[in-house]
Amino acid sequence: MTTLSNRISVTLTPTDLDRINKAVEALEKQLTFLVSLDDGGRKELYQVGDKSREFIRKALVAAKTHPDALPRCFDTKEFAKDVELSEALYPLLLSLRRLHNSVEDTHALAQSEAYEAALVVYRSARDNDTDGTMAAAIGEMKSRFNRKSSKKPPVTPPTPAPQP
């Protein structure tokens, strides 16, 4: 008898999913200013960690305290808005990252357990189909394991030129 791991056993009803999707939509409606960057756009940005966040805060204090030392075109108010937005979004980012990781891990676990159970079903059907009634289902499941040959045809060395 095969013992399957069962680390998660949850049912999400259509009502549950609808409520969750509405909550996500409500978040998206509140965060209309969010931007999406492609990989190239992300690479152009400064990488900011905790030390850099502290540097930014200190620079803002300096900019407000000594505006005469800055170039005329420098917009301290815009700088302050960027700092404030960054600081306001940081705890939200951490919360959403935790949520994202939990959803991703739960999804991976559910998929893994489902795949493990599917393997038991396939092997049992394959090994116990004495009368051929499950042949079609076995064939469909078996296609998952069909592999394309990764072997390249053997390379024949060039024939050496005849020597005079």
Count: domains in the chain: 1
Q: Is residue 51 part of a domain?
A: yes
In a domain, 95, yes or no: yes
Amino acid at residue number 146: N
**Is the residue at 50 inside a domain?**
yes
Instruction: Please write the tens of the pLDDT for every residue from 116-128.
Output: 999 999 999 999 9
- In a domain, residue 96? The reply is yes
How far from 135 is each of 82, 83, 144, CA to CA, in Å?
A: 63, 64, 15
pLDDT tens, residue by residue, 27-43: 999 999 999 999 999 99
114 assigned to some structural domain: yes
Q: Is 41 part of a structural domain of the chain?
A: yes
What pLDDT is attached to residue 148?
A: 73
Please check whether residue 91 lies inside any domain of the structure.
yes
Domain extent, residue 62, equals 37-140
